Amino acid sequence: MPRMDFLDGTTTGGRAALTDRARALAEGGQRRVLGIAGPPGAGKSTLAERLVATLDGRAVLVPMDGFHLAAAELDRLGRADRKGAPDTFDAAGYAALLRRLRDPDPVHPVYAPAFDRALEEPVAGALAVGPDVPLVITEGNYLLLEDGPWAPVRGLLDEVWFLDLDPEIRVHRLVERHVRYGKPRPYAREWVARSDEANARLVLSGRDRADLIVRQPARER
């Protein structure tokens, strides 16, 4: 188990320290992969996007969500009513991509899928990681799971940060996100309580496997 550090991401100094830590990974002389984990609504994508913007071309974001199974496949498997659970992703495909990204001497771009929230579908080949990119940042719920096809993922990440956020704030964010993408508010509340929070409890069980615990601000920045 890695030794955990703790950092307060709610302060200006804390946010600067996160940037410095990511920059140090990018300057290590060989491509590194940084994972950002945490329950739904914790601010993973917001932090990852900020780091990529701050590092100015030295990092690329490859989210885990690109490995969502397509809606038609979820229907076929009978899992559409719990989309977002661990078995609604291509975990083995995600691990295979991480292995490609860890090539110590990359020559060609690596293409990765993205998840289109407006379509609620993955889009193949939407993200390119050039051979000269020194840091790949990947974020998602299940980077620290120890079970099944997710088990290899932790070992393919050079460092993992886990984001902590007050659960009430997190749930509010999730409901608002679902409403923003077209779900009626009562349905959004029910989905969060039934599906997202069940997933959140599972994600929290892997918290102790992270290298760094980051306390998140109440407002996304």
Structural domain boundaries of the chain?
A: 5-215
Give the CATH superfamily of 5-215. P-loop containing nucleotide triphosphate hydrolases (3.40.50.300)
Please determine, for residue 197, whether its predicted confidence score (pLDDT) is greater than 60.
Answer: yes
Q: What 3-state class would DSSP assign to 77?
A: helix
Q: Does position 219 have pLDDT exceeding 80, yes or no?
A: no
pLDDT over 90 at 29, yes or no = no
- Tally Cβ neighbours within 10 Å of residue 39: 24
Tracing tokens 């600067």 back to the chain, one arrives at 16
- Two tokens, residue 208: 């102790």
Give the whole-number percent of the chain exceeding pLDDT 90.
76
The pLDDT mean for the chain works out to 93
The whole-angstrom separation of Cα 131 and Cα 59 is 11
Q: What is the pLDDT of residue 74?
A: 97
pLDDT band at 196 (very low <50, low <70, confident <90, very high): confident
